[in-house]
Amino acid sequence: MLARSVPKTVLANSARHSSAWFGGVEMGPPDAILGVTEAFKRDTNPKKINLGVGAYRDDQGKPFVLPSVRAAEQAIIDAKLDKEYAGIVGLPDFTANAAKLALGADSPIIAAKRNATVQTISGTGALRVGAEFLGRFFPNKVVYQPAPTWGNHVPVFKYSGVDVKQYRYYDKSTCGFDEKGCLEDIANIPEKSIILLHACAHNPTGVDPTPEQWMKLNEVIKKRNLFVFFDMAYQGFASGDINRDAHAVRYFVEQGHNIVLAQSFAKNMGLYGERVGAFTVVAQDEDEQARVLSQLKILIRPMYSNPPIHGARIASKILGDQQLYGQWLKDVKGMADRIIGMRTQLKDLLAKEGSTRNWNHIVDQIGMFCFTGISPEQVAKLTKEHSIYLTKDGRISVAGISSNNVGYLAHALHQVTK
């Protein structure tokens, strides 16, 4: 059969018609962090430093795979496991171990079967599942988030049909916690609203309340009858102690708050690309737990059906094996200690540079990120004159600092702030 020729005018009209479907789609703004990394890659200065990356690096500036993760992964490979679906709520061993890590192995909530825990696509997935659940079932669809907060918190809730408002959290004058402003704002939040709290290593400021301040927050939150949503992305990675970093979550549960919790294993296990997370609802009783879990399944099924298994197997193997668990505790403490050590070195070297500025907040803050307190103009000078890349708000990833570049960073910081 001879091929039928199609007139050029028909092809042209067809092309015009098909290309018009998305003609009204506007170009979206670039991701702030991605833009920093792209600019860093283009820079040819051999002394350049990327302080925008939100992933741990070793003292040579290289990605780090935890020894416990290597060992767990090898054990999984040796076991020659299948690749079957995990099920909508994920791997049962993983969800059980994740809940124990967050709430405590001896948690009465777990003993009473009051926790509805599902495996998620890392911390972002946990937040989204939680936001979608609240958007569907919580009567007052407003969440109050700290100012500032992680950039993804806002769209995650907004795209789930939950309005976003803010409460004061960070004090620019001290580069620390605005206790007075925070408590005042929370005291004025309408009753039965949702409040988002960072469990530890607040992102982006690195500023955490003290145990005494958490007590005050609990009192005012309980008085206002607010519903607590915890985001815990850095358990163990903040202080090096998994129990200390889980203090706020466990304390609020002990005080009677039926919280919801998003967990991530990206930072504390270095499982960034494996996307391992969990979402937990602390229910009133076992009956409510069953009903909540049934609705979480219905919500997850059309979203991503079921989660990936490899990273969850690694995390579960580590948490469920005494020897690997002990190794992991050493691994996570080693990462946290390196971050803490870099903070101390940077502060000390700034003093040696002759800086008279108060840099105490560098060591007072905790976790991967540090809010330096420098202005956007000073950030621009750091980048233009010294090839040091960070976000415009002055946030640096301490994981990007090493013994090889901390001296250069201290010198550059002093030059732009003196």
| Catalytic residue ranges | 150, 231, 267
* Euclidean distance between CA atoms 283 and 289, whole angstroms: 5
Q: Look up residue 330 and give its two tokens.
A: 């050493």
Strand partners of residue 197 = 230
Sign of CA dihedral 340, 370, 131, 186: positive
* Euclidean distance between CA atoms 83 and 172, whole angstroms: 50
* Euclidean distance between CA atoms 356 and 11, whole angstroms: 71
Chain position carrying tokens 């069953």: 290
* Euclidean distance between CA atoms 299 and 278, whole angstroms: 15
Contact 98, 315 (CB under 8 A): yes
Strand partners of residue 171 = 176
**First vs last Cα of the chain: how many Å apart?**
82
Question: Which one-letter DSSP state was computed for residue 225?
Answer: T
Contact 154, 166 (CB under 8 A): no
What's 135-203 look like in SS3? HHHCCCCEEEEEECCCCCHHHHHHCCCCEEEEEECEECCCCEECHHHHHHHHHCCCCCCEEEEECCCCC
Strand partners of residue 177 = 170
Question: Which one-letter DSSP state was computed for residue 269?
Answer: S
Contact 368, 55 (CB under 8 A): no
Question: Which one-letter DSSP state was computed for residue 113?
Answer: T
Question: Which one-letter DSSP state was computed for residue 399?
Answer: G
Question: What are all long-range contacts of 207-212, with beta carbons under 8 Å and residues at least 24 apart?
Answer: 207/169, 207/170, 207/175, 207/176, 207/177, 207/364, 207/365, 207/366, 207/371, 208/177, 208/238, 208/366, 208/367, 209/177, 209/179, 209/248, 211/247, 211/251
Q: Look up residue 278 and give its two tokens.
A: 């969990």
Name residues whose C-beta falls within 8 Å of residue 298's C-beta, 6 or more positions apart in sequence. Answer: none
